Amino acid sequence: MTFDTLKLQAETILSNTEKTVNQRLMQICELLEANIEHYNWVGFYFKNGDKNELKLGPYVGEPTDHTIIPFGKGICGQVALSNKNFVVPDVAAQDNYIACSITVKAEIVIPIFVNGENIGQIDIDSNTPDPFTEADERFLEFVCEKVSEII
Percent of the chain at pLDDT > 70 equals: 99
**Number of separate helices (H) and strands (E) present in the chain:** 4, 6
Domains in the chain (CATH in brackets) are 3-148 (3.30.450.40)
Q: How many degrees, rounded to 5, is the angle at CA 106 between CA 103 and CA 110?
A: 130
The sign of the torsion formed by the CA atoms of 110, 23, 36, 4 equals negative
Mean pLDDT of the residues in the chain: 96
Determine how many CB atoms are found less than 10 A away from the CB of residue 84.
11
pLDDT at 90 over 90: yes
Rounded Cα gap, residues 43 and 75, in angstroms: 13
Question: Quick check: 122 and 42 in contact, CB under 8 A?
Answer: yes
Q: What is the pLDDT of residue 94?
A: 86
Band of pLDDT at residue 102, cut at 50, 70 and 90: confident
pLDDT at 1 over 90: no
Q: What is the pLDDT of residue 97?
A: 78
pLDDT at 98 over 90: no
Give the tens place of pLDDT for each residue, 29-82: 999 999 999 999 999 999 999 999 999 999 999 999 999 999 999 999 999 999
pLDDT at 135 over 90: yes
Strand ranges across the sheet with 106-114: 68-70, 53-60, 41-47, 117-126, 106-114, 86-88
